[in-house]
Amino acid sequence: MTPNERFDQDLKRDVEARVREGVKAVLEEVLEEEMTEHLEAGYRELTPTRRGERNGHYTRNLVTPAGKIERLEVPRDREGEFITEVFGRYKRMTGDVEEAILEMYLSGISVRKIAGVTDALSRVKVGKDAVSRIARRLAEEQREWRERSLKEKAYPYLYLDATYLKARWGAGVTSMALLACIGVDEEGFREVLAVEVAGSEKGAAYASLLRGLLDRGLYGVRLVVSDDHEGIKAAVAGELPGAQWQRCIVHFERSVLAHVPASEMSEVAEDLKTIFKVRREKTARALAEEFVELYGGCFPKAVAVFEAGISDALTYLGYPGSHHARLRTTNMLERLFREVKRRTRVVGVFPNETSASTLATEIALRSSEEWTLKRYLTMNALEAVEKPNPQLRESERRRPRLV
């Protein structure tokens, strides 16, 4: 490379960096103006129509036509109601194209065919170097995400569940379990903490997932919400001894109603749902006793299932009433899994475990990006709830492990 060429290259990089900084400054100004309009008041301004208070900032990256803007400062309001329109307008213009290319690549489509498709759609061929670059960049981003520290804040609530994806395993095709963990932090915001592919939903897989979170600094867990999976329960008891467990009431109701005739199911379901509509544990226990007395003679198997699981299904009543609707089910994870399934359906069978994990993780993370814009729970009420054996910080709770 000649000195002139090197100078031109350096100049181009400098100009691109300056453009990105300029775009970042403009976007941050627009975000602040949006917040002012949302609150109907400027920074520290007192007005008769003020609708809330600012609550600092969080950072995120954004892909724009000017390139990737890193650490863009986005304002938050204390109520968690502010939603910016900026990201909707800039909605990962480049990222969507790269995701489509990556989806084709991970599903086993050859680079030559990818180039043909992109050429037909946009008159721009995407060669093997571009595909490899996209795959490498995404792999590096996901590696950093999987290894990121969780020590900065506590996560009082965790949600654990799994869904299944088909992938080639040796000479055949098998169903791989996609394990996911979502946390609600001490400020009330949701966050995907882990997404892992495992051979099955055995307890060892969930224990490994939780150990990985603990090694990264997870602390402050009070409640874990999941379905009635023995592997999850064993992993929670072994790795999070100070946390309580909440059985998803949707799965619980299905288990009970599975032993009720179809002709009687509607009435029994209504009585069952009534138990979970009250906010006081004493009232719920009384309704549970009535349920047993009412149906014990008619549907003994259903009542046996009910009695065995009702205590675990009512754990959420020990937490703030404003949290009950969010804590008693795993619906949040179910919705996330539906989006993953919808987006991976076109792939069918993944060529290997790595491709399944990479694409599913990327979809889960992009699907949950909007969570950072809206508070899921108001956590002030949780401080009043006594917790006799809270999970301590990592430095206080870690015990020596046998090697």
Distance, in Å, from the CA atom of 210 to the CA atom of 215, rounded to the nearest integer, reads: 9
CB 161 within 8 A of CB 337: yes
Distance, in Å, from the CA atom of 120 to the CA atom of 129, rounded to the nearest integer, reads: 19
Say which residues have a Cβ less than 8 Å from residue 328's Cβ, sequence separation at least 6.
Answer: 225, 246, 248, 249, 276, 313, 316
Spatial CA neighbour of 111 closest among 93, 92, 94, 130: 130
Query: pLDDT of 252-287, one tens digit each?
Result: 999 999 999 999 999 999 999 999 999 999 999 999
Q: Between β-strands 157-169 and 244-247, what pairing exists: parallel, antiparallel or unpaired?
A: unpaired
CB 371 within 8 A of CB 189: yes
pLDDT of residue 16: 67
pLDDT > 70: percent of the chain: 77
Amino acid in the structure at residue 249 = I
Virtual torsion, Cα 341, 346, 362, 72, nearest 10 deg: -110
Say which residues have a Cβ less than 8 Å from residue 290's Cβ, sequence separation at least 6.
Answer: none
Global pTM value: 0.70
- Across 216-238, b (16+ Cβ under 10 Å) vs e yields bebbbbbbbbbbbbebbbebbee
Query: pLDDT of 391-402, one tens digit each?
Result: 544 444 443 333
pLDDT of residue 67: 66
Average predicted confidence (pLDDT) for the chain: 82
The count of C-alpha atoms lying within 13 angstroms of the C-alpha of 178, restricted to the half-sphere facing its C-beta, is: 27
Q: Which helix (H) or strand (E) holds 333?
A: helix 331-344
pLDDT of residue 307: 96
CB 69 within 8 A of CB 60: no
Q: pLDDT class for 102, splitting at 50, 70, 90? A: low
Crossing angle of helices 111-122 and 128-147, in 10° steps, is: 100
pLDDT of residue 48: 81
pLDDT of residue 213: 96
pLDDT of residue 247: 97
Spatial CA neighbour of 344 closest among 70, 131, 113, 102: 102
The domain 152-246+338-398: what is its CATH number?
3.30.420
Q: pLDDT class for 347, splitting at 50, 70, 90? A: confident
Q: Which of 156-170, 199-213, 240-254 has the highest mean pLDDT?
A: 240-254
DSSP secondary structure string for all residues of 68-134: EEEEEEEEEETTS----SHHHHSTTHHHHHHHHHHHHHHTT--HHHHHHHHHHHHS----HHHHHHH
> 316: which DSSP letter?
G
Q: pLDDT class for 364, splitting at 50, 70, 90? A: confident
Query: pLDDT of 49-88, one tens digit each?
Result: 888 888 888 887 776 656 677 888 888 888 878 877 766 6
Strand partners, 160: 181
CB atoms within 10 A of CB 22: 11
- pLDDT(165) > 80: yes
Q: pLDDT class for 104, splitting at 50, 70, 90? A: low
SS3 at position 181: strand
Q: pLDDT class for 107, splitting at 50, 70, 90? A: low
Query: pLDDT of 179-216, one tens digit each?
Result: 999 999 999 999 999 999 887 777 899 999 999 999 99
Distance, in Å, from the CA atom of 314 to the CA atom of 248, rounded to the nearest integer, reads: 9
- pLDDT(105) > 70: no
Query: pLDDT of 285-335, one tens digit each?
Result: 999 999 999 999 999 999 999 999 999 999 999 999 999 999 999 999 999
Spatial CA neighbour of 72 closest among 33, 27, 15: 27
CB 82 within 8 A of CB 75: yes
